[in-house]
Amino acid sequence: MKLIKVCGMRNAENIRAVEQAGPDWMGFIFYEPSPRYVAEMPAYMPQQCKRVGVFVHPQFRDVVEKVKAFGLQVVQFHGTASPDMCDTFKQRGLTVIRALPVTESFVADTAEYTGKIDYFLFDTPTLKFGGSGRRYNWNLLQRYTGPTPFLLSGGLSPQSINDIKTFKHKYLAGYDLNSGFETAPAMKDAAAIANFINIIHNGNE
C-alpha cells in the first residue's frame, strides 16, 4: 500500500476534514517565507495520521523544539541538511525524509544519505523549496536505483491521476500532495484528496 502524505496544512477544521479522507501523514511547514507557514499550533492536530514537520535549512534546536511542541513523528528536511544531521534525528526514533530537487545530476546527491534517512522526497527544483505546483520530468527518476525508498512530489493534482497511476518504480513508496489539491494556500480540498486515496488504494474512479 502506497503512503499518502498531505503537506502544507494549517487550518484546524481543514485538518479535521482532510484527516477523515485517510492520509497516512500530514505535513506542517515551519519555513516562514512559505504561504503555508505554521506560526502557531492549530486548534486541532491530527490524531489518526502521523504529523510531519517540514524544515528548510534546519537548525538542530529549532527542530527539537518543534518536535516536542507539535508532537511530530516525522521530520522532512530541505536545503542544507547534512547526512549526519538526518542520522541524529533518525537515531532519536523519528522517521526522516530528505527532500531533494530532481536535476540531471540528482542521483549523485543521494548516495551519502544511505542508511541515514528513511525516505527521499523527490521534488521540482524551485527556490521556494516545494509547493510550486510545477511538475518535473518523472522519467529522470528511472536513473535512481535505490536503496532508499522515495515519495513522488511536484505538481501532483487530480488532473494528473492517470500519469500518477502509470508511473512505476521499484523504490516508489508513496505520494506527496500539496498545492495541486488546494482551494487556497494551506486549504485543501478534502473531497479531492479522499477521491485520490480511493483511486490509489482501491483502483476506484
For residue 40, give the CATH number of its domain: 3.20.20.70
What does the block give as the cell for 131?
509547493
Percent share of the chain, pLDDT over 90: 89
Domain span holding position 17: 3-202
Q: What is the mean pLDDT of residues 161-176?
A: 96
Helices 12-21 & 190-202 angle (0-180, nearest 10): 20
150 sits in which H/E element: strand 150-152
Out of 15-24, 63-72, 126-135, which region has the weakest mean confidence (pLDDT)? 126-135
Strand partners, 116: none
Report how far residue 126's alpha carbon sits from residue 128's, in angstroms, rounded to the nearest whole number.
5
Residue 60 has pLDDT above 80, yes or no: yes
pLDDT value of position 182: 97
For the chain, what is the domain count? 1
Q: What is the mean pLDDT of residues 140-162?
A: 95
The answer, as to whether pTM is greater than 0.85, is yes
Report how far residue 41's alpha carbon sits from residue 4's, in angstroms, rounded to the nearest whole number.
23
pLDDT band at 131; cut points 50, 70, 90? low
Task: Return the higher-pLDDT residue of 126 and 168.
Answer: 168
Residue 205 has pLDDT above 90, yes or no: no
**Cis ω before 158 (30° cut-off from 0):** no
pLDDT band at 7; cut points 50, 70, 90? very high
